[in-house]
Amino acid sequence: MPLIVRNVLDVLIAVAMTAAVAFVIVVSSHFLVARGSSLQGILAWLTFIRRPDIIGTMMLTALVTFGYVFWQRHRIRK
């Protein structure tokens, strides 16, 4: 697998993991509310996760983290 494809895949996996953590937090918080249900939690998560600013923030965080780790890895090797 080419290096660029592996790097893009790493970023996408980080974004997916962030979305999964947000899913668990939002759905579980709806269970704690007296009138909450799992369906309301899923709908709230879908509303949250579809916002372009949220997607952008997750992508930016993953890219910056990946870039920092990549830079550190190559700096240590030299």
Count up the domains in the chain and report the number: 1
pLDDT band at residue 7 under the 50/70/90 scheme: confident
User: Which pLDDT score is estimated for 78?
Assistant: 61
- Residue ranges making up the domain that contains 10: 3-77
- On whether the pTM is more than 0.95, the answer is no
User: The tokens 């997750």 sit on which residue?
Assistant: 58
What are the residues whose beta carbons fall under 8 Å from the beta carbon of 66, sequence distance 6 or more?
7, 10, 11, 14
